[in-house]
Structure 1
């Protein structure tokens, strides 16, 4: 079964963004897709070509991706703050299009017990203006396009 639902994006405070999305795959497979560079490159950039320039999956480790698309390219990067295998990632997130306006993203991988995994993302921005700017940038559409590419990867062979 392929998940065709969009991520649910909500805001409750003045600086946060909450995202939930269920994937039809076991937690170990979703974790691998989020943490193995060759798999990340197949879905993270909305399915566009993605260079994983840096990937140090450890506390304090640096990550950097560059997505290539019809309009050019966009870079994204940050540092890991917490890594709990198959359960949680916490990292800073900065888009080159809004330099110095980083958020802290906490991603929890919830095993639903039926072969599905719920991914819950809590993003905390420095200011409400930063959060609103990221939402206006097309973040939700880009995220849902990436999640559609992740669905294809998770339901494919392997």
Structure 2
């Protein structure tokens, strides 16, 4: 469903670059990234439930969320360094299961013709090995599934469902 996620992991570099188009306005896509209630409804794979413990999407704000599948829990936390409405988010990201592996991430939101938008970003890891560990554990599938769910959420809002 929706548009494909493009994920690039340059060999020998500790980073991931991504791009995804949406058939929805930039304001809707940005809001879904910064509103905790919406974020919890789409982030990550379908088989995970998301609980938001903290989510202050503003410059200097913090966040923490926990995803669960049965008895398994996966917690993530970080800080929003810069948040510019409908344009840009710069944040740290840490999976609590990999202590001391903190990434610096940005997402740039761009309005496209016809009420469409795109999100383009980059995650900078402490090492190539830590980046590869996220790849091995399915970050691409998780991001792709999450963005497909975001499409569904925004389509449902558009149709009043």
TM-score under structure 2 normalisation? 0.90
Which position in structure 2 is the counterpart of 1:106? 106
The runs of 5 or more residues in structure 2 that have no matched partner are none
Asked if residue 28 in structure 1 is aligned to residue 27 in structure 2, the reply is yes
Distance, in Å, in 1 between the alignment partners of 2:151 and 2:68 is 20
Q: In the alignment, which residue of structure 2 is the partner of 1:15?
A: 14
Secondary structure, counterpart of 2:24 in structure 1: coil
Contact 2:35 2:57 in 1 (8 A): no
Report SS of the residue matched to 1:97: coil
Q: Residues 1-158 of structure 1 correspond to what in structure 2 (within 5 A)?
A: 3=2, 5-12=3-10, 14-47=13-46, 48-70=48-70, 72-158=72-158
Work out the CA distance in 2 between the residues paired with 1:54 and 1:39: 14
Give 1:71 shift: 6.0
1:78 counterpart SS class: strand
Count of residue correspondences: 156
Task: Quote the offset at 1:108 in angstroms.
Answer: 0.5
Q: What CA distance in whole angstroms lies between the structure 2 residues aligned with 1:113 and 1:71? A: 45
- 1:46–1:147 CA contact under 8 A, matched in 2: no
Asked if the contact 2:28–2:154 (Cα under 8 Å) also holds between the matched residues in 1, the reply is yes
List alignment gaps of at least 5 residues for structure 1. Answer: none
Give the conservation status (yes or no) of the 8 Å contact 1:34–1:40: yes
Q: CA deviation at 1:115?
A: 1.3
User: How big is the alpha-carbon RMSD for the aligned residues of Structure 1 and Structure 2?
Assistant: 1.5
- Cα deviation code 1:63-101 (max 9, x no counterpart): 001011246111111001111111000000011221210
